[in-house]
């Protein structure tokens, strides 16, 4: 199984300059090649990887600065562009702007990359043209390297290795006949059909206040000024921390859900459509833009899509299958009598059926409906009621703000 291992690099000043240069060259190769592809499409033709790689080799004679970056890194950029255009369409793929794009480039030949451990905390890797780069040995490599990607996020540079860890996805889950429905909400990130709320605040109140002040400050800065750059850097530092916490939460929740369940059912939210619709077009500006902007923030804030990705990733090691069901009416349907009425949802949190009077937490009710939609009947524990452990505690409705060690151990996750 292929998986990623990311480490924080500790580059020398010369290496930072080199990495920035490689990033700049890759960016201009990407933009030039993308423009060429678009030009071909406008004339009804096609451009693809092989002729572009040949043209790149020729272009090196006229533009010697292209040779400052390793050639297979540039070829890899063309390959990435090729894949992006095939998957998303030539006119949907974006330009890489100097201001918005995080520099990143990939060394595709894993065999050329040597990795050594230097001590308890440090390791080093030999990358073409960069030489030995030191990184924090935060986890074992655990496999054979296929490729290495260097990226800058904010102030720091990272290297991620794609490794083949020789593991395979199990044919059968360790706990067959278990299933759970997950409702992704605005208030609580994820609620499961067994009544557990998975959520934690990703930004502290202090960070939220500071972010608001910084955004006000940013609106008063002149474009292109040094002051603006400093403010943007401070904003990025905070949002970077928030992003890390969100990724950590999604990975932990995904590990817990996939370890305990052979089937995880999610609603198919099409988050991109929901977030993209707010602004509208110049001719028809989106209505309720203000409200939508607030909702967008909340949606992106909870990492709904990230949770799905984390579940799919974690499912590879446990053999869990992740199922998507249509999202329509899951929050308006009564789980007891199947009556559909938007009035049944009294408030954000409470659900009271207008037909049979069944009351439940609105998110738990929705999570049960999601599980039902995949064709699984819900028992009291949210599993199928077969092969359940006698020792397992009956589920209590609780909000988990952090990870309780007992729950973590029960889910098979090592606790430090």
Residues that bind Zn ion (CB under 5 A): 334, 336-337, 339, 353, 355-356, 358
Interatomic CA distance for residues 369 and 62, integer angstroms: 63
- Nearest approach in angstroms of CB 365 to Zn ion is 10
Burial (Cβ within 10 Å: 0-12, 13-18, ≥19) of residue 192:
buried
- Inter-CA distances, 253 with 22, 43, 143, 195, 222, Å: 37, 49, 25, 14, 42
Q: Identify which of 111, 144, 148 has the alpha carbon closest to the alpha carbon of residue 133.
A: 148
Q: Identify which of 258, 280, 74, 67 has the alpha carbon closest to the alpha carbon of residue 169.
A: 258
- Nearest approach in angstroms of CB 343 to Zn ion is 12
Interatomic CA distance for residues 380 and 392, integer angstroms: 12
* C-beta closer to Zn ion: residue 1 or 356: 356
* C-beta closer to Zn ion: residue 258 or 369: 369
Residue 181 has φ and ψ, to the nearest 5°, of -100, 140
- Nearest approach in angstroms of CB 352 to Zn ion is 9
Interatomic CA distance for residues 416 and 413, integer angstroms: 10
Strand order in the sheet with 398-400: 321-326, 263-268, 179-184, 190-192, 196-198, 398-400
Instruction: Answer positive or negative: Cα dihedral of 369, 371, 375, 380.
Output: negative
Q: What is the DSSP string of 207-250?
A: HHHHHHHHHHHHHTSPTT-HHHHHHHHHHHHHHHHHHHHHHHHH
Is 267 considered catalytic here? yes
Q: Identify which of 159, 183, 191, 205 has the alpha carbon closest to the alpha carbon of residue 327.
A: 183
Pick the catalytic residue: 82, 194, 267, 308? 267
Instruction: Answer positive or negative: Cα dihedral of 387, 388, 390, 391.
Output: positive
- Nearest approach in angstroms of CB 369 to Zn ion is 12
Strand partners, 117: 123
Query: How many angstroms from the chain centroid is the CA of residue 91?
Result: 24
Pick the catalytic residue: 183, 194, 308, 383? 183
Instruction: Answer positive or negative: Cα dihedral of 248, 251, 254, 258.
Output: negative
Is 183 considered catalytic here? yes
- Nearest approach in angstroms of CB 336 to Zn ion is 5
* C-beta closer to Zn ion: residue 315 or 360: 360
Interatomic CA distance for residues 62 and 166, integer angstroms: 45
* C-beta closer to Zn ion: residue 321 or 359: 359
- Inter-CA distances, 247 with 65, 123, 192, 311, 377, Å: 38, 24, 19, 12, 31
- Nearest approach in angstroms of CB 333 to Zn ion is 9
35 CB contacts (<8 Å, ≥6 apart)?
Answer: none
- Nearest approach in angstroms of CB 335 to Zn ion is 8
- Nearest approach in angstroms of CB 30 to Zn ion is 55
* C-beta closer to Zn ion: residue 137 or 351: 351
* C-beta closer to Zn ion: residue 10 or 336: 336
* C-beta closer to Zn ion: residue 294 or 357: 357
* C-beta closer to Zn ion: residue 5 or 368: 368
268 CB contacts (<8 Å, ≥6 apart)?
Answer: 324, 325, 326, 327
Pick the catalytic residue: 82, 256, 363, 383? 363
* Catalytic residue numbers, as ranges: 183, 267, 363
């Amino acid at each position: 199984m292929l998986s990623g291992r990311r480490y924080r690099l500790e580059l020398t000043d010369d290496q930072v300059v080199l990495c920035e240069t490689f990033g700049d060259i890759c960016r201009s190769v990407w933009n030039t090649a993308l423009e060429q592809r678009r030009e071909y499409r406008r004339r009804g033709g096609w451009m693809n990887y092989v002729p572009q790689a040949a043209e790149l080799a020729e272009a090196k004679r006229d533009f010697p600065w292209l040779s400052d970056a390793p050639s297979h890194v540039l070829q890899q950029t063309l390959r990435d562009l090729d894949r992006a255009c095939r998957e998303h369409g030539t006119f949907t793929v974006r330009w890489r702007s100097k201001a918005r794009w995080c520099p990143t480039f990939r060394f595709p030949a894993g065999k050329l990359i040597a990795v050594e451990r230097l001590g308890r905390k440090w390791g080093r890797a030999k990358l073409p043209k960069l030489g030995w780069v030191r990184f924090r040995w935060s986890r074992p490599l655990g496999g054979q390297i296929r490729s290495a990607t260097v990226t800058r996020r904010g102030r720091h540079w990272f290297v991620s290795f794609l490794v083949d860890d020789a593991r395979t996805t199990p044919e059968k889950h360790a706990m067959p006949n278990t299933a759970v429905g997950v409702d992704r909400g605005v208030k609580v990130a994820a609620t499961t059909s067994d009544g557990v709320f998975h959520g934690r605040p990703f930004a502290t109140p202090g960070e939220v206040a500071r972010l608001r002040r910084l955004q006000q400050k940013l609106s008063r800065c002149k474009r292109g000024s040094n002051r603006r750059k400093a403010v943007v850097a401070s904003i990025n530092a905070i949002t970077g921390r928030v992003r890390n916490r969100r990724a950590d939460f999604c990975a932990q929740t995904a590990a817990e859900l996939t370890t305990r369940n052979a089937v995880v059912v999610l609603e198919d939210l099409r988050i991109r459509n929901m977030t993209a619709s707010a602004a509208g077009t110049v001719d028809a500006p989106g209505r309720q833009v203000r409200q939508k902007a607030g909702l967008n923030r909340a949606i992106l804030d909870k990492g709904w899509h990230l949770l799905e990705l984390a579940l799919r990733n974690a499912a590879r090691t446990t053999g869990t299958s992740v199922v998507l069901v249509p999202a329509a009416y899951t929050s308006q349907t009564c789980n007891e009598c199947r009556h559909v009425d938007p009035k049944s949802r009294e408030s954000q949190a409470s659900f009271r059926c207008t037909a049979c009077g069944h009351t439940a937490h609105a998110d738990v009710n929705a999570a049960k409906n999601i599980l039902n939609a995949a064709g699984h009947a819900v028992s009291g524990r949210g599993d199928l009621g077969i092969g359940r452990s006698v020792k397992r505690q009956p589920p209590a409705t609780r909000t988990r703000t952090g990870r309780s060690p007992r729950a973590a151990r029960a889910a098979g996750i090592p606790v430090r």
